[in-house]
Amino acid sequence: MLFCLTANHRTIEFDVLDRISRVTSTTAADLIARQDFVRGAIVLSTCNRFEAYIEIDDPLTAATELAVEAVVDALSLNAGDDAEVLRAHAVALTGQDVVKHLFAVSSGLESMVLGEEEITGQVQRALRDARLAGTTSSGLELLFQRAAHASREARAQSDLAAAGRSLARLALDLADTRVPDWAQARVLLVGTGSYAATTVAALDARGARDIRVFSATGRAAQFAVRYGVRAENDLREAIRDAEVVITCTARYVVTTGDVPDDARRLIIDLGLPRNVEPAVGDLPGVELLDLEIIGRHASLPDLGPGAHEAVGSAAAAFEADRLAAPAVVALRRHVDAVLQSEIDRARARGGDDVHTEAALRHFAGVLLHGPSVRAREFAAEGRLDDFAGALATLFGIQPDAAPAGQAERGASA
């Protein structure tokens, strides 16, 4: 059974999300190590959300309650009291609700900035991290792979691709009233990851010409060459010369000691964990815009129904495939058995084994394609029993029972 415990900027304060985001690197591994009923786990921790996706044994008595406790227990190893805050305010999803939710998240429909571009990559990075850590499972692999497909469909069938929304663009929208002329502004970018690249594009769109970059990991020079900006080697001196500082890095870098007190400047912190100490905002001449301020004051655009319809269709197709899988597996097993028998007979008669086997296997693939498609169509129409009956009538075979699908929702106290 699929399960998700989710919390975001709408349900939990940014300070809590900030602290949790610092200690989630081992949560998935801890989940698997501490709970026998957990088959796989993937943790998605971004600038405005924490989500734990797990696949658990099915059936399992009180599955939702056990799964909530498992996540909170694993997180509490490093998050302490914040894990209890998560328990009180997070939402628990199971079954098809997990599918719909992840597809919506990956498409940007649950983001602080509706339709944001970065979230799709963050979802897939969570999958890659789980693979490297050895915590994913076949069910989660399929779910996250299909989430990427769903986000592409949502963008293709709606205005998301044309809108080009991102958190960086939203932050710069808020900064427009503080920056009279972006073409004259000296801008320092702290960080060289994918978010930094998006921020450069957003600055270019506003006409910014003087963009510098600093990286605590020594990647500034390479990033500068690639994106046509200037690399800086000393953070304090770079901040001294900048009018606008934008941080978007995985490292906590900017402290009060890094910020000279000799000029006015705007600092925009797009990082979670925070890239800038809150105390920096109290320094003379400094205005700090962080994610909490951006989320509180930004006006979010409305989306048409196209994206939601595309996500709903993708989730329904995923469920149809899941329900149809036992029937398809039974059919393929039957045809493979018949095929092997025919191959054995051909070999017994002599002849060119390679060509005979290749021809028969191609025949089997063609034979199976049509019925497999029909099985999914029948499942989507709620007529899977008709297809199973046809299998029994035609071949005398019975598919295994479809996995139980639950759709429980709610917070666990």
Give me the domain span that covers residue 351.
318-395
Residue 309 domain-assigned (yes or no): no
Residue 34 shares a structural domain with residue 48: yes
| CB-count exposure of residue 8 (10 Å: 0-12, 13-18, 19+) | buried
Pairing of strands 230-232, 244-247: unpaired
Residue 312 domain-assigned (yes or no): no
User: What percentage of the chain exceeds 90 in pLDDT?
Assistant: 44
Q: For 305-336, what is each residue's pLDDT tens digit?
A: 677 788 888 888 888 888 888 888 888 888 88
Residue 24 domain-assigned (yes or no): yes
| DSSP helix/strand/coil, 37 | coil
Residue 412 domain-assigned (yes or no): no
In order along its 413 residues, the chain shows pLDDT tens digits of 999 999 988 888 888 888 898 889 899 999 999 999 999 999 999 877 899 999 998 777 888 999 999 999 999 999 999 999 999 999 999 999 999 999 999 988 887 766 677 788 899 999 999 999 999 999 999 999 999 988 888 777 665 544 556 778 888 988 998 999 999 999 999 999 878 888 999 999 999 999 999 998 889 999 999 999 999 999 999 999 999 999 988 777 899 999 988 778 999 998 877 899 989 999 999 999 988 888 776 555 555 567 778 888 888 888 888 888 888 888 888 888 888 887 887 777 776 777 777 778 888 888 888 889 989 899 889 998 999 898 888 888 888 876 655 444 444 43
Residue 155 shares a structural domain with residue 216: no
**Measured torsion, CA atoms of residues 316, 318, 323, 324, in degrees rounded to the nearest 10:** 110
Residue 66 domain-assigned (yes or no): yes
Residue 345 shares a structural domain with residue 267: no
Q: Which two tokens stand for residue 47?
A: 């600038």
Residue 143 shares a structural domain with residue 235: no
Residue 280 shares a structural domain with residue 368: no
Q: How many CA atoms lie within 13 A of 63 on its CB side?
A: 22
Domain count, the chain: 3
pLDDT at 44: 95
Active site residue 47: yes
Residue 52 belongs to a domain with what CATH number? Answer: 3.30.460.30
Determine the Cα–Cα distance for residues 215 and 144; give it in Å rounded to an integer. Answer: 31
Residue 197 shares a structural domain with residue 287: yes
Q: Residues 291, 292, 294, 299: is their CA dihedral positive or negative?
A: positive
Residue 125 shares a structural domain with residue 183: no
Give residues with Cβ within 8 angstroms of 177, minimum separation 6.
none
Residue 237 domain-assigned (yes or no): yes
Residue 148 shares a structural domain with residue 175: no
Give residues with Cβ within 8 angstroms of 155, minimum separation 6.
107, 161, 307
DSSP 8-state secondary structure symbol assigned to residue 399: P
DSSP code per residue over 201-245: HHHHHTT--EEEEE-TTS-HHHHHHHHT-EEES-HHHHHHH-SEE
Residue 15 shares a structural domain with residue 139: yes
pLDDT at 411: 43
| DSSP helix/strand/coil, 388 | helix
How far, CA to CA in Å, does 295 sit from each of 51, 88, 195, 269, 356?
A: 19, 22, 17, 12, 65
Determine the Cα–Cα distance for residues 308 and 136; give it in Å rounded to an integer. Answer: 27
Residue 290 belongs to a domain with what CATH number? Answer: 3.40.50.720
Q: For 4-59, what is each residue's pLDDT tens digit?
A: 999 988 888 888 888 898 889 899 999 999 999 999 999 999 877 899 999 998 77
Residue 403 domain-assigned (yes or no): no
Q: Of 164, 187, 202, which residue is a domain's last?
A: 164
Residue 29 shares a structural domain with residue 86: yes
Q: Which residue among the candidates 1, 2, 47, 99 is catalytic per the annotation? A: 47
Dihedral class, residue 396 (left if φ above 0, else alpha if ψ from -120 to 50, else beta)? left
Q: Of 246, 261, 296, which residue is a domain's last?
A: 296
Q: Of 164, 191, 209, which residue is a domain's last?
A: 164
Decide if 222 contacts 146 (C-beta within 8 A): no
Determine the Cα–Cα distance for residues 152 and 307; give it in Å rounded to an integer. Answer: 10
| DSSP helix/strand/coil, 91 | strand
Residue 123 shares a structural domain with residue 171: no
| DSSP helix/strand/coil, 335 | helix
Residue 313 domain-assigned (yes or no): no
Residue 337 shares a structural domain with residue 248: no
